[in-house]
Chain A
Amino acid sequence: MDNLVYLLPLFDLEVLWVIALGTFGGLIIGALPGLTATMGVALLIPLTFGMAPVMGLNMLIGIYIGGIYGGCVSAILLRTPGTPSSAATVLDGYPMAARGEAGRALGMATVASTIGGLFAAVVLATLAPQLAGVALKFGSAEYFALALFGLTIIASLSGDILKGVISGLLGILIACVGSDPITGGLRYTFGVSGFASGFAFTPALIGLFALSEVFTQMERFGQENKVTLKVAGRWPTRSDLRESRGALVRGSIIGTIIGIIPGTGSGTASWIAYNEARRSSKTPEKFGTGYAPGIAATESANNAVCAAALIPLLALGIPGDVVTAVLMGGLMIQGLAPGPMLYITNPDVVVGIFGGTFIATLFMFVFGMALIPVFSRILMIPRHILAVTIVVFCFIGSFAINLNQVDLYTMVGFGLLGWGMQKFGFSQAALCIALILGPMMEANLRRGLLQTHNDLMAFLSGPITLLFLGLAFLSMLLPLIARSRAGRGTSTPSQNG
Chain B
Amino acid sequence: MRAVDPRRSDAFIGLGLLALCGFMAWQTSLIRSVGSGGAAGPTLVPWIMIAGTALLSLLMIVRALRRPAGPEENAPMMPSWGTLGRMTLFFLMLIGYAVAFSTLGYLGSTLIVFVAGLWLFGERRLLVLALVPLVVTGAVYLGFTRLLNVWLP
Contacts and interface: CB of A to CB of B under 8 A. Distances in A.
Interface residues of A, number: 58
Given A218-B83, A218-B86, A399-B101, A392 B46 contact: no
Contacts of B150: 46-47, 50, 396, 400
A169 interface: yes
B136 A185 contact: no
A442 B45 contact: yes
Interface string B109-145: 0100110011011110000100010001100100010
A367 interface: no
Interface stretch (A91-99, A175-183, A242-250, A290-298): A175-183
Contacts of B60: 162-163, 166
B94 interface: yes
Given A182-B42, A449-B40, A169 B118 contact: no
A396 B49 contact: no
B103 to A, nearest CB: 9
B152 A169 contact: no
B133 to A, nearest CB: 8
B71 interface: no
Interface in A405-428: 405, 408-409, 412, 415-416, 423-425
Contact of B76 (A162, A405, A423): A423
- Pick the most buried of A215, A384, A416: most chain B CB atoms within 10 A of its CB: A384
Contacts of A230: none
B117 A391 contact: yes
A222 B45 contact: no
A59 to B, nearest CB: 11
Contacts, number: 166
Interface residues of B, number: 69
Contacts of A454: 38-40
Given A218-B83, A395-B101, A424-B13, A385 B136 contact: yes
Interface in A150-207: 159, 162-163, 165-166, 169-170, 172-173, 176, 180, 182-183, 185, 187-188
Contacts of B42: 180, 182-183, 185, 187
A11 interface: no
Given A50-B149, A182-B36, A399-B101, A218 B44 contact: no
Contacts of A441: 45
Contact of A388 (B37, B38, B102, B121): B121
A219 interface: yes
Contact of B49 (A163, A173, A446): A173
Contacts of B90: 215, 218
Contacts of A221: 121-122
A412 B95 contact: yes
B152 A396 contact: yes
A215 B86 CA distance: 10
Contacts of A438: 45
Contact of B144 (A187, A396, A408, A415): A396
B56 interface: yes
B49 to A, nearest CB: 4
B59 interface: yes
B151 interface: yes
Contact of B31 (A185, A387, A391): A185
Contact of B122 (A222, A424, A446): A222
A483 B146 CA distance: 55
A176 B152 contact: no
A412 B90 CA distance: 11
Given A163-B60, A176-B45, A446-B36, 8 more contacts: A166-B17, A387-B117, A389-B136, A396-B150, A400-B150, A405-B101, A408-B98, A424-B76
Closest 7 A-B residue pairs measured CB to CB?
Answer: A384-B121, A449-B40, A408-B98, A388-B117, A180-B42, A446-B40, A173-B49
10 contacts: A182-B42, A218-B87, A218-B120, A387-B117, A392-B113, A396-B140, A405-B99, A409-B95, A446-B41, A449-B40
Interface of B: 1, 9-10, 13, 17, 24, 27, 31-32, 34-42, 44-46, 49-50, 52-53, 56-57, 59-60, 63, 74, 76-79, 83, 86-87, 90-91, 94-95, 97-99, 101-102, 106, 110, 113-114, 117-118, 120-123, 128, 132, 136-137, 140, 144, 148-153
